[in-house]
Structure 1
Amino acid sequence: MSEFNRRELIRIAEEMNGMSNDETRQFITRIIDDLSNLKPSIAFVGQIKAGKSRLINGFTGQPEYLPSDVNPWTTVITDMHFGHPSGRTSGAEFHFFDNRQWQALIAEGEELRNMFPDEEDSYKREMIEEQVEAMKTRAQLRLGDSYEQLLGQHHDLEELTSDDLARYVCAGDDPTEEGEHDPGSDRGLYSDITRKAEVYFDIGHFPYPLTVTDTPGVNDPLLIREEISRQYLKESDFFVVVLSAHQALSRADLKLFRLMQALELGQIVVFINRVDELGDGAMDAAKVRADVQDGLERALGNSDIDVLMGSAQWAHYALTGDETGISHDSILAWLRAHPEQMKQYLEGVEEIKQGPGPISREAVLRFAAMIASGLPDLRRHVTQALTNGPRNEQMRMAWQHLNSFAQGELERSTARLRALAAEESPDANDADESNKLLSDLRALVAEKTEAITSDMDDVLSNLRGVMDDTVAEAVSTVVRGPDGTSPLLAKNGETEMNFTPLRERMRELVQGATQVVRQRMLSELYAIDLQSNAALRALPGWQEPVDNRMNTSAVRWFRPDMTALTRGITVELRVTWLSRLISRKSVVSRAERMIVQEFEMIGDDLIDTARGDLAERLQTVVDHYLALLAGHLEHRVGPDGTNPHTEAQRAVDQARRITDELSTALGPVPADNLQAEAAE
């Protein structure tokens, strides 16, 4: 769905608020807020020197924004907002670390490292701690007395220059090295305490508002940069993994992919950059692409990750005219080897020719470079995937709710008009009866909701017991060893223990229990719907609305959040230290207790998160249904006025117009979807 669809839904929802009762208005306001803040994010990740910054410049159409010289960035995550919901289109905000965030950076990094440990991880924590301390020292030397006051604060600049950017995100001279630091330079002044940069642009050539994020490189000699990149993985909706054609899918790349797979991050595309530097051009690039696809298949199993190719250097030339390192013959050869891109090029040239004035040779060459760069293909791939993914689902849910309210309003106003025409308007007794029924139905829904919640708590309480037993048994098997020989007491000092099967079993238990809760919720909600409709039909002169079915989408589409399963077990890194302080005989039992405790906390987090999410979704369904009921009943007594028939006709016309606009904004839900929903 396009940006036009989103804006239309917001406009229609705001108009609907003017004709809604208080309960409905509250719900529609939530829909408006959700649609207004619908802004997917795209993170570019990959190794240093893969050409990531220049690729982002081409992707966003900001050719000179991110410096692409050797290692200019510090530890800064940079969010580039295009068409931000706030309406802001210029300037930037720079957010500074505080001591708590620095410490969390170290702790969370340890959890991620423990997911896929290697021989280097044993010393990484110590190095990262040293690097954080070095950052603090440099910042104190640069900032002096203002250092403490700046921690945890942020700077907001209405306009942003390259010099401003350099002060916050570029490394600058190291003030701890004599002879290397220029005291008069403010380059890098705030860089060591800057946690994140947010920069604002207009929507540019993107079809809807989104955020493009530049992350520090993985496999960076400065480990703190790698840590920040890995930890930011959970913050984005879509990921472009940038590989260099010279060293595609290295060991570090594979480790990144496995981590992303374990974190269940969702949509990913691979972009192999720097194909312009390959000796045999398209032929070599095809081999590299095939090797990457085979490597992903071997490493990740049934991988369906798309692999695109191109050159950020070609895109840079296309945007700036800088011909440094550009071979026009190579660009044209690349297009000839890729028929789809050649077609785009030829069609684009024909379009350019239709424009005013003569077409220059340079314009054609730069257009060819842009098509060959692969950036237009990458933009289309990413925006289409976001459109068809979570963004589409959120807009579809919003449309369903709005359409439900609009159809109900149309039915109610039509029924009111018919009643007036037949001079059968309900009297005060009907109003009292309607108000009493609404009160009774609210009480019914509240009672049933409490029962549903109680049943959910029973299921999840049983899950806690099963989870604790599973954890205790699995940890004991791993720590004590399947043959009775604990790996903690191995002569070679190896302490690595494999808890992957336990994590998978915990995942299965949570998914199974929440599926039971979800089905029971749907069954009880269906019973509420039937009982409420029976009571409504008993009202004198009741007209059956077309939208009277409860919308249970929020519950039906629930899937448990498994993020807690990615948490590492820190005791694994402390075993060697423990063994020096206590007897070897007690190492096993003590380590077992500590590991069990940590896995039990992971299990508790999984269950608590699932309960909170389910309860919130249940409340969404209930709030929506109560708003519908209130709307059904409020018009059974017409307002006092000199011409109630005119008022009723106006209400019908307005409701019909809104339903028509909603149909145009998105289109009706396909009949097979409605049947599938009813079956559930």
Structure 2
Amino acid sequence: MSETSRRELIRIAEDMNETSNDETRQFISRIVGDLSGLKPSIAFVGQIKAGKSRLINGFTGQAEYLPSDVNPWTTVITDMHFGHPSGRTEGAEFHFFDNHQWQALIAEGEELRNMFPDEEDSYKREMIEEQVEAMKTRARLRLGDSYEQLLGQHHDLEDLNSDDLARYVCAGDDPSDSETHDPGSDRGLYSDITRKAEVYFDIGHFPFPLTVTDTPGVNDPLLIREEISRQYLKESDFFVVVLSAHQALSRADLKLFRLMQALELGQIVVFINRVDELGGGAEDAGKVRSDVLDGLEQALGNSDIDVLMGSAQWAHYALTGDETGVNHDDVLAWLRAHPEQMKQYLDGVEEIKQGPGPISREGVLRFAAMIASGLPDLRRHVTQALADGPRSEQLRMAWQHLNSFAQGELERSQAELRALESEDGSATVDLDENNKTLGELRALVAEKTEVMTRDMDDVLANLRGVMDDTVAEAVSAVVRGPDGNSPLLAKGAETELNFTPLRDRMRELIQGATQVVRQRMLSELYAIDMQANAALRALPGWQDPVDNRMNTSAVRWFRPDTTALTRGITVELRVNWLSRLISRKSVVTRAERMIVQEFELIGDDLIDTARENMMERLKTVLDHYVALLGGYLEHRTGSGETNAQAEAQDAFDRARRIADELETVFGPVRADEGQAKAAE
């Protein structure tokens, strides 16, 4: 669905809210809020000096907006909001660290490092702590007495220029270095305490609102920058991993990919930048791309990550006219080697020729450079993936709920109009009977909710016991080793214990238990649906709506979040400290106890998260259904009998209009949706 469809759904929902009952209005307001805030995010990640900032400038069309010199950034995540739900299109907000957030940064980083450790990780925490203290010291020197007052605060600038940006996100001179520091410069004034920058733009050339995020580079000598980037990974919906054509898929790159895979993140695309700097042009670039694909396959298994290529430098020239470092023969050679891009270029030139103004050589060259840069292809790839992914599913679900309300209102108003038109009035709606029925149905829903909750808690309580037994048995087998020969007592500087089978078994257990809960919930929801429909049909003059089935999609498609299983177990990765213990037996016993405790905590997190998510989905299904029933049963009439029929006709006409508008947005209920309903 397009951005136009999203806006139209919001308009229709707000229109429906004007005459809805309280329960329906509450639910529709939630839909409006979800649709208004639907703003996927794209994070650009990768090593330092891979050209991320200049690439983002080309991707967003904001030439030279983000500084792209060798080392402009400090510990700053920069979110560029295009078409923000608030309606804001200019200015920026800068959020400052507080002491708690600095400490959380250190603690959370330790957890991520433990997932895929290397020989350098043993001293990284100490270095990061030192760097955080150095940041605080620099900030105190720069800010003086205002330092303490600024912690945890934020600055909101209505307008923003490059000098403003430099004050908050660029490193600047070290104020403790008298030889290099310029006391008159405010570059980097707030950079050491700036946690995050949010910059606002209009929607630009994107098809729907989104956020583009520039992250500090991984493999940065200043480890705190790398830590910021790694910890931000869970915050985005889509990732562009930027590789340099000169050193594509290095050890640091592979470690980043493994971490992203372990965290079960969203969609990923790889962009190999700086192909313009390869001596062999398209031929060398093709070899680099092939090597990257092979490397990803070997490192990640059945990887389906797309790999695109291009040049941020060419895009920079296309946007600014700055020809520095641009060889036009190389640009044209690249287009000739890539027929699809050549076709885009030729079609675009023909379109330019049809325009009102004269066509210039420079304009054609800059257009060629933009196509060859690969940025238009990257933009299409990312926005299409987002449109076809979670964004599309959210819009579809919103439409289904709104359509249920609309069809219910249409049927109700039609029945009311039919009753008023009857000569003997025998079909007149009994308001007291309707209210009584609605109250009984609400009580039924509350009763069944308690039953489903108790049943779920019983299943999950049993799962906790099974999970603990599984953990204890598996950890003991690994730590104590075959025939009682513990690998912890083997010679060598360090020992790695393999708990992958245990993690896989824990994943199977949580998936199996939640499947049982899900099926039992669906059975109870089906029972509610049947009893409610029977109660409605018993009402005098009741006529079934076209579609009054409960929408159980939120429960039916539930899958447990298993992110907790990617958490590292410190003892399983590093056991050098064990050598300091005296008793060999106590070494094994203590290690076993510690590892069991950590895996039990992981199991608790799995179960608690699953329960919370399932309850939220169950509430969504039942809130929607109760609101739908309220819409069916509520009887609204005018203040006088003489105009009751006219008002009923108006209500029917309005309901018909809204139903037709919804059908125009999404079309009639499709076959796959019908099959999904039948599957319930």
TM-score computed with the length of structure 1 as normaliser: 0.97
- C-alpha distance 178-481 of structure 1, shift in aligned 2 (>3 A): farther
Alignment partners' CA distance in 1, 2:181 and 2:140: 14
Please list, as runs of the form range in 1=range in 2, the aligned pairs for 1:118-197 lying within 5 A after superposition. 118-197=118-197
SS of match in other structure, 1:642: helix
Aligned to 2:25: 25
Asked whether the equivalents of residues 317 and 323 of structure 1 are also in contact (C-alpha less than 8 Å), the reply is: yes
The question of whether the paired residues in 2 share the 8 Å contact of 1:416 and 1:636 is answered with no
* Residue in 2 that maps onto 1:668: 668
* Matched letter for residue 258 of structure 2: R
Higher alpha-carbon deviation: 467-476 or 622-631: 467-476
For residue 60 of structure 1, report the CA deviation from its aligned partner: 0.4
Shift in Å, 1:425: 4.3
In 2 relative to 1, CA 361–87 (structure 1 residues): closer, same or farther, beyond 3 Å? Answer: same
Q: CA deviation at 1:573?
A: 7.1
In the TM superposition, 1:126-525 aligns within 5 A as 126-423=126-423, 425=425, 430-525=430-525
Map Cα deviations across residues 311-340 of structure 1 (whole Å, 9 max, x no partner).
000000000000001111111111111111
Structure 2 equivalent of residue 107 of structure 1: 107
Q: Which moved more, 1:66-75 or 1:387-396?
A: 66-75
Question: Quick one: structure 1 residues 290 and 639, their matched pair in 2 at CA, closer, same or farther if it must change by over 3 Å?
Answer: farther
Q: Return closer, same or farther for 1:460/1:389 CA change in 2, 3 Å cut-off.
A: same
Q: Distance in 1 between matches of 2:559 and 2:633?
A: 34
Residue 233 of structure 1 and its aligned partner are, at CA, apart by 0.5
Distance 2:346 2:178 in 1: 58
Partner of 2:543: 543
Asked if 1 retains the 8 angstrom alpha-carbon contact of 2:17 and 2:28, the reply is yes
Q: 1:517 to 1:491 in 2, by over 3 A?
A: same
Q: 1:568 Cα shift? A: 2.2
SS of 1:44's partner is strand
The 3 A distance-change label for structure 1 pair 426 and 140 is farther
Name the residue aligned to 1:605: 605
Deviation at 1:289, TM superposition (A): 1.0
Deviation at 1:642, TM superposition (A): 2.2
1:7 aligns with 2:14: no
Could you give the per-residue CA deviations for residues 576-604 of structure 1, whole angstroms, max 9, x where no partner exists? Answer: 34653664432221222122112111111
Contact 1:79 1:199 in 2 (8 A): yes
Distance 1:425 1:318, change over 3 A: farther
The percentage of counterpart residues that share the same residue type is 86
Q: Secondary structure at the match of 1:643?
A: helix
Residues 1:334 and 1:623: Cα distance change in structure 2 (over 3 Å): same
After superposition, residues 561-572 of structure 1 pair within 5 angstroms as 561-571=561-571
Displacement of 1:498: 2.5
- One-letter identity of the residue aligned with 2:253: D
Provide the residue aligned with 1:552 in structure 2.
Answer: 552
Report the counterpart of residue 589 of structure 1 in structure 2.
Answer: 589
Contact 1:427–1:637, Cα closer than 8 Å, also in 2? no
CA distance in 2, matches of 1:147, 1:495: 45
Change (3 A) 1:257 1:483: farther
In structure 2, what is the Cα distance between the partners aligned to 1:486 and 1:106? 33
Partner AA of 1:206 in structure 2: F
Q: Could you tell me whether the CA contact under 8 Å between 1:94 and 1:198 is conserved in 2?
A: yes
SS at 1:174's partner residue? coil
Gaps of 5+ in 2: none
- Structure-1 separation of matches of 2:429 and 2:189: 75
Contact 1:81 1:199 in 2 (8 A): yes
Q: Deviations over 1:325-364 (max 9, x none)?
A: 1111111111111111111111111111111121111000
Alpha-carbon distance between aligned partners in 2 of 1:675 and 1:638, rounded to the nearest angstrom:
41
Task: Assess, with a 3 A threshold, how the Cα gap between structure 1 residues 427 and 678 changes in structure 2: closer, same or farther.
Answer: closer
Deviations 1:445-475 (A, max 9, x none): 1111110111111111111111111111222
d(CA) in 1 for partners of 2:587, 2:423: 87
Give the aligned residue type for 1:328. H
| Change over 3 Å in CA distance of 1:187–1:284 after alignment to 2 | same
Look up the match of 2:36.
36
1:90·1:199 contact (CA, 8 Å) conserved in 2? yes
Relative to structure 1, is the Cα distance of residues 424 and 137 closer, same or farther in structure 2, using a 3 angstrom cutoff? farther
Q: 1 CA distance for matches of 2:19 and 2:415?
A: 17
Aligned to 1:527: 527
Distance in 2 (alpha carbons) for counterparts of 1:210 and 1:475: 45
Q: CA deviation at 1:515?
A: 1.2
Corresponding position of 2:60: 60
Q: Name whichever of 53-62 and 489-498 sits farther off.
A: 489-498
SS in structure 2 at match of 1:677: helix
Check conservation: 1:110, 1:570, Cα contact below 8 A: no
Whichever residue aligns with residue 185 of structure 1, its letter is: S
Q: Any stretches of 5+ residues in structure 1 without a counterpart? A: none
Deviation of 1:420 after TM superposition, in Å, equals 1.1
Distance 1:229 1:424, change over 3 A: farther
Q: Residues of 2 paired with 1:196 and 1:582: CA distance? A: 48
Identify if the C-alpha distance between structure 1 residues 426 and 146 changes in structure 2 by more than 3 Å, giving closer, same or farther: farther
1:424–1:650 distance in 2 versus 1, CA, 3 Å: farther
Aligned residues: 680
Aligned to 1:622: 622
> Which runs of structure 2 are paired with 1:75-114 in the superposition (5 Å)?
75-114=75-114
Moved more, 324-333 or 632-641: 632-641
Q: Distance in 1 between matches of 2:518 and 2:631?
A: 27
Q: Quote the Cα distance in structure 1 between the aligned partners of 2:55 and 2:497.
A: 40
User: 1:117: how far off?
Assistant: 1.6
Q: Distance in 1 between matches of 2:140 and 2:588?
A: 44
Q: Offset of 1:606 from its aligned partner?
A: 1.1
After alignment, is 575-584 or 217-226 more displaced?
575-584
Q: 2:45·2:240 contact (CA, 8 Å) conserved in 1?
A: yes
Distance 2:428 2:206 in 1: 56
- Cα distance, 1:603–1:117 mapped onto 2, change above 3 Å: same
- Give how far 1:638 is off: 7.5
Alignment check: 8 A CA contact 1:452 1:524 kept: yes
Distance, in Å, in 2 between the alignment partners of 1:484 and 1:456 is 40
CA RMSD of aligned residues (A): 1.6
Q: Taking structure 1 as reference, are residues 490 and 182 closer, same or farther at Cα in structure 2, changes over 3 Å only?
A: farther
Displacement of 1:178:
3.7
Q: Secondary structure at the match of 2:438?
A: helix
Is the CA contact (8 Å cut-off) linking 2:142 and 2:189 kept in structure 1?
yes
State whether residues 167 and 186 of structure 2, in contact with CA within 8 Å, keep that contact through their aligned partners in structure 1: yes
Answer yes or no: is the 8 Å Cα contact 2:96–2:151 preserved in 1: yes
Aligned-residue offset at 1:176: 2.9
TM-score normalized by the length of structure 2: 0.97
Instruction: Return closer, same or farther for 1:387/1:462 CA change in 2, 3 Å cut-off.
Output: same
Deviation string, structure 1 residues 416-467 (Cα, Å, up to 9, x no partner): 1111111354689822222111111111111111101111111111111111
Quote the Cα distance in structure 1 between the aligned partners of 2:149 and 2:338: 57
Shift, 1:138, TM fit: 1.4
Report Cα offsets for 1:102-143 as digits up to 9, x if no partner: 111111111111111222222211211121121112112222
Q: Is the 8 A contact 1:426 1:636 kept in 2?
A: no
| Native 8 Å contact 1:426 1:637 kept in 2 | no
Query: In structure 2, the residue corresponding to 1:68 is in which secondary structure?
Result: coil
- Secondary structure (helix, strand or coil) at the match of 1:304 reads coil
